[in-house]
Amino acid sequence: MSTLAATPETPEAGQAESARPAYRVTGRRVLASEWAKLWSLRSTWITLGLGLLFLVAFGVIAASHYTSNLDSGRHMDRDFATATAVSLSLSGTNFAQLALGVLGVLVTAGEYSTGMIRSTLAAVPRRLPVLWSKATVYGLVALVMATVGAFAAFLVGSRIVSGTPAAMSLGHAGVVRSLLGAGLYLGMVGVIGTALGALLRSVAGGISVLVAALMLVPGLVSLLPSSWQGDIDSYLPSHAGESMFALTHDSTSLSPGAGLLVFLGWAALALAGAAYRLLRSDV
Amino acid sequence: MIEAQQLTKRYGEKTAVDGLDFTVKPGTVTGFLGPNGAGKSTTMRMIVGLDAPTRGSVTVNGRRYARHQAPLQEVGALLEAKSIHPGRSAYNHLRALALTHGIPPRRVDEVIEVAGLGSVAKMRAGAFSLGMGQRLGIAAALLGDPQTVMLDEPVNGLDPEGVLWIRNLLTALAAEGRTVFVSSHLMSEVSLVADHLIIVGRGRLLADTTVQDLVREAGGDTVQVATDDPAHLRDVLAGPGVEITCRIGSEELQVTGLSAREIGLKAAEHGIPLFELTTKAVSLEEAFMELTRDAVEYHGSTTGDETSGSAA
pLDDT tens digits, one per residue of A162-202: 888 888 989 888 999 999 999 999 999 999 999 999 999 99
Sort residue A191 into left (φ over 0), alpha (ψ -120 to 50) or beta.
alpha
> What pLDDT score was predicted for residue A43?
93
Most A CBs within 10 Å: which of B47, B79, B94, B101, as the mutation test of the A interface?
B101
Residue A14 has pLDDT above 70, yes or no: no
pLDDT band at A13 (very low <50, low <70, confident <90, very high): very low
Q: To the nearest whole angstrom, how far is the Cα of A103 from the nearest Cα of chain B? A: 14
Chain B residues in contact with A6 (beta carbon < 8 A) = 107, 110, 145
Farthest-apart Cα atoms in chain B, separation: 74
Nearest to B276 by CA among B238, B312, B222, B236: B222
Rounded distance between C-alpha atoms, residue A63 and residue B141, angstroms: 55
Distance of CA B152 to the CA centre of its chain: 9
- Quick check: A235 and A262 in contact, CB under 8 A? yes
Q: In terms of pLDDT, which residue wins out, B298 or A1? A: B298
> What pLDDT score was predicted for residue A224?
83
> What pLDDT score was predicted for residue A73?
67
Domain boundaries, chain B: 2-209, 221-280
> What pLDDT score was predicted for residue A120?
97
Q: To the nearest whole angstrom, how far is the Cα of B34 from the nearest Cα of chain A? A: 23
Chain B residues in contact with A16 (beta carbon < 8 A) = 147, 176-178
Nearest to B83 by CA among A40, A115, A113, A108: A115
Average per-residue pLDDT for chain A: 89
Q: Which residue of A has its CA nearest to B177?
A: A16
Residue A75 has pLDDT above 70, yes or no: no
Q: To the nearest whole angstrom, how far is the Cα of B78 from the nearest Cα of chain A? A: 9
Overall residue count recorded for chain B in this entry:
312
Most A CBs within 10 Å: which of B65, B69, B85, B124, as the mutation test of the A interface?
B85
Residue A5 is nearest to which of B66, B86, B176, comparing CB atoms? Answer: B176
CATH 3.40.50.300 fits B2-209, yes or no: yes
Q: To the nearest whole angstrom, how far is the Cα of A185 from the nearest Cα of chain B? A: 29
Cβ separation of A6 and B145 shorter than 8 Å? Answer: yes
> What pLDDT score was predicted for residue A80?
76
Q: Which stretches of chain B score pLDDT less than 70?
A: 219, 282, 295-312
- The C-alpha angle A244, A246, A250, rounded to 5 degrees, equals 105
**What is the CATH code for B221-280?**
3.30.70
Q: In terms of pLDDT, which residue wins out, B280 or A77? A: B280
Residue B97 is nearest to which of A6, A16, A123, comparing CB atoms? Answer: A123
> What pLDDT score was predicted for residue A18?
52
> What pLDDT score was predicted for residue A8?
44
Quick one: average pLDDT of A148-162? 94
Cβ separation of A122 and B48 shorter than 8 Å? Answer: yes
Residue A251 has pLDDT above 90, yes or no: no
CA torsion, ordered A280, A283, B5, B8, to nearest 10 deg: 80
b/e per residue, A164-196, with b = 16+ CB within 10 A?
Answer: bebebeeeeebbeebbbbbbbbbbbbbbbbbbb
Residue B215: its H or E element: helix B211-217
Residue B97 is nearest to which of A2, A119, A282, comparing CB atoms? Answer: A119
pLDDT band at A16 (very low <50, low <70, confident <90, very high): very low
Cβ separation of B84 and A122 shorter than 8 Å? Answer: no
Residue A161 φ then ψ, to 5°: -95, 10
Please give the ipTM for the structure prediction: 0.88
Q: Per CB distance under 8 Å, which residues of A are interface residues toward B?
A: 1-7, 16, 20-26, 29-30, 32-33, 36-37, 40-43, 110-111, 114-119, 121-126, 282-283
Q: What is the DSSP letter of A25?
A: -
- Quick check: B227 and B274 in contact, CB under 8 A? yes
Q: To the nearest whole angstrom, how far is the Cα of B61 from the nearest Cα of chain A? A: 13
SS3 for B185? coil
Residue A253 has pLDDT above 90, yes or no: no
> What pLDDT score was predicted for residue B304?
42
Cβ separation of A3 and B173 shorter than 8 Å? Answer: no
Cβ pairs bridging A and B (under 8 Å): 128
Q: In terms of pLDDT, which residue wins out, A11 or B229? A: B229
Chain A residues in contact with B178 (beta carbon < 8 A) = 16
Cβ separation of A115 and B81 shorter than 8 Å? Answer: yes
